[in-house]
Amino acid sequence: MRDLGRRKNVVRTWREMEREVADLYDMTVLAIADGDYSLEGEIERELQKLSSRFERLENQLILSGDYDDRNAVLAIHAGAGGTESQDWANMLLRMYLRWAEQNAYEAEVLDSSPGEEAGIKSAVLGVKGDHAYGYLKAEHGVHRLVRLSPFDADHARHTSFALVEVLPEAEEELDLQIRPEDLKVDTFRSSGPGGQHMQKTSSAVRVTYLPTGTVVVCESQRSQYQNKETALRILYARLLDIERTRREKEEARLKGERIEAGWGNQIRSYVLHPYKMVKDHRTGYEVSNAEAVLDGDLEGFVVAYLRSRVGKGK
């Protein structure tokens, strides 16, 4: 029923677009026939609106994957490099939060591990909204930053790396058959900040899926119940991704296709010194306004990636 409702909305949207185009065409024909050029400005404005709307709808047609219409679970992991990479991971977290805000998505930090001096070691972000996974899957991979270090006394240039994982949120009853006995839940005292309550009570939760050994730990909430719910939400997303990857590899094997390396590849570079540029190495798309990108302006990169995948089955 959910899928049927989604498909009806798609059809309804295109039918409305079709009617609006026909109305604008009729208005233009009548204006020309009557020699009335006073409507030229209005017709041009309406045409621009329809063109922009058509472009957005065209982009949505690209999002036809099995899970593209799902909510997303986005995880950020600082790479090697200590404080530098941890600060870079925090910059990426802010970038995605700003992107979500600008595009009317609901974003929530589900779990985070603070860095030793600054930034974060890792964070998990839940993003809810129309085709959240379909858009954010363009961000899956290694992100590289080049800048003058604010943590270096010599203000030298540093290169930092962070891994971004993007998973579709699982719908447990539809996607996964998980038996309660396959889950092992352990509780322990939180080691992070949060006051005496978190450090004196066993509020942190570790959930292990025994058949695969997949482990998720959540300790950022004060409540043990909240941590368990969050850990299960992340675990289900990871298990769905494991199953999805297994199916894709099997399909590729049967087709005789070469399997790409996946998340280990560097997908994008953010250069802040000696010049400013952000470049996606998969599509070649680049911009010079690095500050705007770090402030959440990812539209060009996302659209370029989606268009590059047309006809490639992913």
- Which of the residue ranges 3-17, 144-158, 242-256, 292-306 has the most confident prediction, judged by mean pLDDT? 292-306
* pLDDT tops 50 at residue 239: yes
The CA distance from 282 to 178, in Å, is 36
pLDDT-derived band at 98, boundaries 50, 70, 90: very high
117-175 per-position pLDDT tens digit: 899 999 999 999 988 999 999 999 999 999 998 888 777 888 999 999 999 998 765 67
* pLDDT tops 60 at residue 92: yes
The string of DSSP codes covering the chain is -HHHHHHHHHHHHHHHHHHHHHHHHHHHHHHHHHT--TTHHHHHHHHHHHHHHHHHHHHHHH--STTTTS-EEEEEEE-SSTHHHHHHHHHHHHHHHHHHHHTT-EEEEEEEEE-SSSSEEEEEEEEESTTHHHHHGGG-EEEEEEEE-TT-TT--EEEEEEEEEEEEPP-HHHH----GGGEEEEEE---SSS-HHHHHS--EEEEEETTTTEEEEE-SSS-HHHHHHHHHHHHHHHHHHHHHHHHHHHHHHHHTPPPP-GGGSEEEEEE-SSS-EEEETTT--EES-HHHHHTT--HHHHHHHHHHTTTTT-
Please give the pLDDT value at position 197. 43
Which amino acid, residue 277?
M
Contact 139, 96 (CB under 8 A): yes
Please give the pLDDT value at position 245. 85
164-212 per-position pLDDT tens digit: 999 999 876 567 788 889 999 998 877 655 444 444 567 889 999 999 9
CATH C-level class of 72-171+260-308:
alpha beta
Give 241 or 260, the one with higher predicted confidence.
241
29-38 per-position pLDDT tens digit: 998 888 888 8
Nearby residues of 180 by Cβ (< 8 Å), 6 or more positions away: none
CATH topology for the 174-255 domain: Double Stranded RNA Binding Domain (3.30.160)
203, with CB counted inside 10 A (0-12, 13-18, 19+), is: buried
pLDDT-derived band at 313, boundaries 50, 70, 90: low
* pLDDT tops 60 at residue 216: yes
